[in-house]
Homo-oligomer: A and B are copies of this chain.
């Protein structure tokens, strides 16, 4: 591999959807390895004095974002439906994803989760929705949910969020290459070019 990207994403984040759906393919083509790092934006927004998504606070910008996201998904051939309410609660999904990445179904789960949220309009904060997704992936729901709620996994998600904050992350998705931060689905290609030029630090 030419390099390595840390992909920091949040399940409630709109532009994380197209990023998650395409990163594996474009990174493989670029010969760059990807480490998926689910984190939570809520605690980071709170430290900036934001009680909800900036897209809900700045409504003109929010309106633009929905239209832009629709266009972006259109160009990528991705189905799109606006989640209601927005933002969805991504806490349980993020914990389950961390379980998936200590096993071997993390990426598959993340893509299925994003499709459920942004293509099918499902309520991803509900345990029933997560259970259904896991069942469709032929995974054993009870032990996974128990592990997702273990102190280990809770700590891991908290640590990832704290690492994101230390890296200067303030939104999602993000691509981090040797400490260099690239923010936004539209920065993925630039991050890949950067990763091809630098040696991974890990």
Contact = CB atoms under 8 A, between A and B. Distances in A.
A152 to B, nearest CB: 29
Given A48-B60, A60-B168, A186 B183 contact: no
Given A71-B190, A186-B186, A186-B187, 19 more contacts: A48-B58, A48-B60, A58-B170, A60-B168, A60-B169, A60-B170, A61-B170, A61-B171, A63-B168, A64-B168, A64-B170, A64-B181, A64-B183, A67-B181, A68-B182, A68-B183, A68-B187, A75-B190, A184-B186
A68 B181 CA distance: 8
Interface in A167-202: 168-171, 181-184, 186-187, 190
A48 B168 CA distance: 25
Chain copies in the assembled complex: 2
Nearest to A193: B75
A86 B169 CA distance: 22
Contacts of A60: 48, 168-170
A58 B47 CA distance: 11
19 contacts: A48-B58, A48-B60, A58-B170, A60-B168, A60-B169, A60-B170, A61-B170, A61-B171, A63-B168, A64-B168, A64-B170, A64-B181, A64-B183, A67-B181, A68-B182, A68-B187, A71-B190, A186-B186, A186-B187
Interface residues of A, number: 21
Interface string A40-63: 000000001000000000101101
Interface string A135-170: 000000000000000000000000000000000111
A-B residue pairs, 10 tightest by C-beta: A60-B170, A61-B170, A186-B186, A60-B168, A48-B58, A64-B168, A64-B183, A63-B168, A64-B181, A58-B170
Contacts of A68: 182-183, 187
A171 B168 CA distance: 22
